[in-house]
Amino acid sequence: MARAASASTTAAQPRVSRDPASFRGKGVRGLTFERRWTRPGVHPYDEVTWDLRSAEIKNESGMTVFEQHDIEVPNFWSQLATNVVVSKYFRGHIGTPDRERSVKQLIDRVVNTITAWAATQHYFHTTEDLEAFKAELTHLLLHQKMAFNSPVWFNVGVEPRPQVSACFINSVEDTMSSIMDLAKTEAMLFKYGSGAGVNLSPIRGSKEKMAGGGIASGPVSFMRGYDSFAGVIKSGGKTRRAAKMVILDADHPDVMEFITSKAHEEKKAWALIEAGYDPSFTGEAYGSVFFQNANHSVRVTDEFMRAVETDATWTTRAVTTDEPVDTYRARDLFKAMADAAHLCGDPGIQYDTTINDWHTSANTDRIYASNPCSEYMFLNDTACFAPETRISTPNGLRTVEDLFLAQERGEKVLVTTDLSGERDHRRLTAHRPALVTLVGERPVYRMKLRDGRSIRTTGDHRFLTDTGEWKRVDELRPGEDRVAIRESGNPVRFESSDAEVRRWQMLGWLTGDGVFSKDTAALVFGPQERDTAESMAEEFRALVSEAQAQEALVASVELDLSRGALLTEAGVATPTRGRGHHLSTQANGVMQISSGSRAVVQLLEDRYGFEQGTATVKDVPSEIHRVADDLKVAYLQGLFSADGSIFSQKWATEDQVMLASSSPALLRSVQLLLADLGITSRISWAHPAGRKNPQGQLHIFNQQARTFLTLVGFPNSTTKSARAARILATTFAGARKNPRPAAIASIEPDGVTTVYDITEPFTHSVIAEGLIAHNCNLASVNLMKFVKDDGEFDIEAYRYACKVTITAQEILVDNASYPTPRIEENSHKYRPLGLGYANLGALLMSRGLAYDSDQGRAYAATLTAIMTGEAYRQSAEIARDHGGPFMEYPLNEQPMLRVIGKHRDAAYAIPEGQAPSDLIAASRATWDEALELGRQHGFRNAQSSVLAPTGTISFMLDCDTTGIEPDIALIKYKKLVGEGFLKIVNQTVPGALKKLGYSPAQVEEIVEYVNDRETIEGAPGLRTSDLSVFDCAFKPVNGERSIHYMGHVRMMAAVQPFLSGAISKTVNMPEAATPDEIERVYLEGWKLGLKAIAIYRDGSKRSQPLSTGKKKDGEAVDSAEVEELKKQLTAALAEAKKPHRRRLPAERAAVTHKFEIAGHEGYITVGLYPDGQPGEIFLKMAKEGSTVSGLMDTLATMMSVALQYGVPLRDLVNKFAHVRFEPAGFTGNAEIPIAKSIVDYIFRWLGARFLPKDERDALGIIAREPEVVPEVPLAALAGA
């Protein structure tokens, strides 16, 4: 098949991204949907047979822990699917009318809600298309061909705006409020059945200093709190545990502590188990230690992995300063990861460089984290202002950083927002509550406008343009675009006292024609300003008096009255004579009043926020942004009276107002103060000949000038005030028009800085620097349902199911709720989805393909390629026919098409001949179509596919295998949270045997063998060459074969190139696997291009949800790992001196224990020495005189003699425990649930009962009963 053009070519026609907050689908074509499995007028429910059943789950003791009767289910659903769906997903309390009692109610609740949303938002072209979609979606769910993730079943149709996403990625910053906010966000996610992942690397390390003194706690300490919250929350109000992923970068200072954190807690759990606490994963042992509710992963780069390969060093760096902290051999860190994973399964590893190479929205930001199972990897809840950005509020201009700190102190934050008003065609404003969020370090741009304004913000922040569009900074075009500016100001109420007005007028004069530098404050006046000088001098003296009153030891106040003082650019020249409380007057008539008092300087700095400096760096006092608006007017009156002017130009019909200064900061601040009062201005710069510094001029024109003269004016300058009065007395002759939006002069990258986001939920706008600024759900397809009667895969049906499912997921995006405003914003901006599949392992087995084979991997690759390609193809059609591409697509078009091209190239790289030709052709054709449609119309969703674990929904779908996993075993047991277990028998074996050519009789015989022996090894008539087809993740109880752990890694590598996200997949390793082998898995995963990998070594945890046999947790585990190098307190017994017989006293205590093994009853009686140790054994089984009875008597006598001659019981237990022969099986004893033989049971019981703890530890024997056993003296028994 011919390949399409290069993916780097982009479409020529621009596409419009619609804001989902306002878009409701009107005016677009809508989707068309053909029917495949359903017929008009016939409901899918009417085409199946329904049964009434009971749903019941029992625990290991046979006690019922859940039951509901008279449940209506399709007759082809298994009892297992019935039990899972009813216990997990039916809503309402049992025994009440609100309780769901039919699968029809469950499916209708979800499907009817989704289609109602679709109708409201005009997703479909016609009503017939909508009805077809509804019927086909119902069919998929009813026939177990697809299932949504658990939050959809939990919440849709129950909550008005349900949380439907299974997984979220949160962010956290290095502040206490952000750290605590993360805990709250995760709690709400877990409540509604979702999982969350977070990269804690922004939190400073435990070796870094705090700003207020002391050393930081570090991220691992906060992980304990997060873990505790997760542990007490049941997801979705059901017994589904909270799911978490915690990530730390390899260069974080605390990475070593993070690597070992979970392993240390695992050891504590083991010790508790050995002390007798419940070892189940919901029991007391694991419930008493930390980090059991989260997966841990270390985030590594290619640079780190190359350092591991070459045995180079690796340096961790401080979060706050980026300075080096510790230097390790990279291999030492890598080995520590493997050692910890060997012990407890964590940490896993995530390959950061690979993840971001396949990132579809790379122009927005990097991917920093994943969800709990590592398959969903996307942007953090991202966009924002630099800290110095001044935001308009009812109380004036305040920096966004200041607003954040005020919020941290518990103050309510109000911001000025933009409203579109009709009155005189001006933009109106209002004041509304807002939330300020510290986002963290982000790249920023500086946008400069031609009117002199500038603002620093992230590239994805949007501003209102003159066309009414909201555009991102990185979309705006200098020289072409104009941004809207604030036109209406806060209404000014003149309510302040005359004294306050005089003070702020004097402070304005100090800024304009004064000096504040070199610890000197001075006011300077021209020869014609005697009246102003006298009144200002009086106010200055009042300021001095206040300073003296505030500081008892204030330096003497100098009021310079001498003639000859000169004003220079460096400050005030030393006066030549005359000191007193009068103005000093120079020969040229210039007057001055000054103070060198430290008290005065400190008052100006502390109370009013003045900063010392020369004329080129002066700025308005910071306190001006916190005072009432009439005092802002007073300040501007003093400033403009001192340094402002009114002048005319020949070409102008109206005079203009101007303020001159050589300080850019001052002019910019004044421009913003004026904007807050509804007065717009422009700033221009020139460098006059003969001047040391450039000169800036702030201009106020036309109506704006008249507004200024009316509201502010020049009351402190007699001459300027008179001219202003004459102007206002004339009729306005200028053009009556609103100020023109400001043209953009330049947009340039401006480094990386800490940024803040402001959320105003009503208008979604704030006034920033005078500008108007805008402030994954999963589903899985059951692969086995697309196998046709002839055993071949139905490609077109599979594609159609993917199309229906991705459409349903897309509809959910705009109708769901989200835990935080930032997550909600990003969900709408990028619309990531997660289509996946289940039952791959069963499908491969049913086709007679070994999981660990080239053919098996190629088959899986084609199926994955078709799924994701079809999802993106439909996403492009939705963009064309309904909502346009996702909002951030224009920015990310190039990386998106590049990644789609990489997917398509991978489809063409699947080897010919290793998979059916029709599958290979379909995978390539699907990606060709997806790429071409995407070039033309964009994509509605930034991500479309992942491979999720599909745990519970796999049972809902009657799958034999979950996600991409092979089966764990042909027969297995699943423990349920809230007690109980389910026995799961693989139903794929008969079909696989038939596909391999076995006769019906042979199939029946082999299946019976599997059910009986729990392994297929040794089955009658089974060819050795076919054994690999039935290999599972774990070695069976009675077998030896399993899939090699590298087989898991190779399967992941085969399908990873066809997924938007990653793979939730555990690499199962045998109990004997070493840390070195785990290192090889992590290294090979990187080389093969995986995004993440996690391992689990069988037996490394004392409890696991799935097991290959129904055994008690922690049985026969080497607990030497629990307490390292523990002394063997009874080691001296092995070195006993000359043997001698130690007889029991004539009267001795004894204990009798009844046991049962696979229906065979027996009794053990142990005679005890006075110290409580065993000295004689009696065994009774079967009838007197029988062979078994005779053998038991002989064994008891030999044991008794051995014990009395000093043979340590430890050695006997070590020798005879775990001896295997019939009868064997279940015992009913919780300590020893399964016995391999009678001898095995006897010696394990003796060891648990009589050996000291350290010897039990060494032998892996667990005892939960008290060690002091003799209680009732018995009559003397005839000994051996």
What are the average pLDDT values for consecutive 10-residue runs of the chain, which has 1280 residues? 35 43 60 95 96 84 84 93 92 92 96 93 93 97 93 86 74 80 76 72 88 82 81 53 78 94 88 81 77 87 95 92 92 95 90 89 72 46 61 76 77 68 38 66 81 81 77 84 70 84 95 89 90 90 84 41 38 38 78 87 89 89 85 94 88 86 90 84 84 87 88 92 90 67 86 72 58 62 91 94 96 82 78 90 92 96 97 96 90 93 96 94 97 96 83 82 84 56 69 91 90 88 93 84 92 94 82 92 94 84 54 41 40 50 83 86 88 88 69 86 87 85 82 86 89 76 50 37
Q: Which of 1062, 1028, 1055, 1057 is nearest to 1044 (CA)?
A: 1028
Q: Where are the alpha helices (DSSP H) in 814-853?
A: 821-830, 840-846
Number of H helices, E strands in the chain: 34, 48
The helix/strand/coil state of 329 is strand
Active site residue 1032: no
pLDDT at 60: 56
Tell me if the pTM is above 0.85: no
Q: Which of 538, 561, 545 is nearest to 716 (CA)?
A: 538
How far is Cα 903 from Cα 865, in angstroms, rounded to an integer?
Answer: 8
C-alpha pair distances (Å), 453 with each of 372, 1017, 1097: 45, 79, 61
Q: Which of 136, 173, 274, 375 is catalytic?
A: 375
Active site residue 693: no
Please provide the distance, in angstroms rounded to a whole number, between the alpha carbons at the two ends of the chain: 86
The helix/strand/coil state of 1181 is strand
How far is Cα 842 from Cα 849, in angstroms, rounded to an integer?
Answer: 10
Q: Do residues 624 and 632 touch, judged by C-beta distance below 8 A?
A: yes
Q: Which of 100, 265, 266, 373 is catalytic?
A: 373
Active site residue 373: yes
How far is Cα 433 from Cα 435, in angstroms, rounded to an integer?
Answer: 7
Q: Where are the alpha helices (DSSP H) in 35-171?
A: 79-88, 103-120, 127-142, 150-155
DSSP symbol at 747: E
Residue type, 81: A
pLDDT at 765: 60
Q: For the chain, how many residues are written?
A: 1280
DSSP notation for 906-965: HHHTSPTTSS-HHHHHHHHHHHHHHHHHHHHH--S-S--B-B---HHHHHHTT-SS-TTP
DSSP notation for 1132-1177: GGGG--S----PPPSS-BEEEEEEEETTEEEEEEEEE-TTS-EEEE
Per-residue three-class SS string for 770-811: CEEEECCEEEEEEHHHHECCCCCECHHHHHHHHHHHHHHHHH
**120 HSE (CA, 13 A, CB side):** 12
Residue type, 841: G
C-alpha pair distances (Å), 1057 with each of 300, 801, 850: 20, 21, 21
Q: Where are the alpha helices (DSSP H) in 1061-1109?
A: 1075-1087
C-alpha pair distances (Å), 147 with each of 240, 778, 848: 17, 9, 26
Q: Which of 83, 371, 815, 941 is catalytic?
A: 371
C-alpha pair distances (Å), 757 with each of 188, 382, 809, 988, 1067: 21, 9, 29, 53, 40
pLDDT at 191: 67
How far is Cα 385 from Cα 392, in angstroms, rounded to an integer?
Answer: 13
DSSP symbol at 589: S
Q: Which domains does the chain carry?
A: 33-145 (no CATH), 167-357 (3.20.70.20), 390-487+742-774 (2.170.16.10), 488-511+616-737 (3.10.28.10), 519-611 (no CATH), 967-1042 (no CATH), 1119-1259 (no CATH)
How far is Cα 584 from Cα 640, in angstroms, rounded to an integer?
Answer: 23
The helix/strand/coil state of 18 is coil
Q: Where are the alpha helices (DSSP H) in 121-175?
A: 127-142, 150-155
In angstroms and rounded to an integer, the radius of gyration of the C-alpha atoms of the chain is: 39
Q: Which of 34, 11, 156 is nearest to 884 (CA)?
A: 11
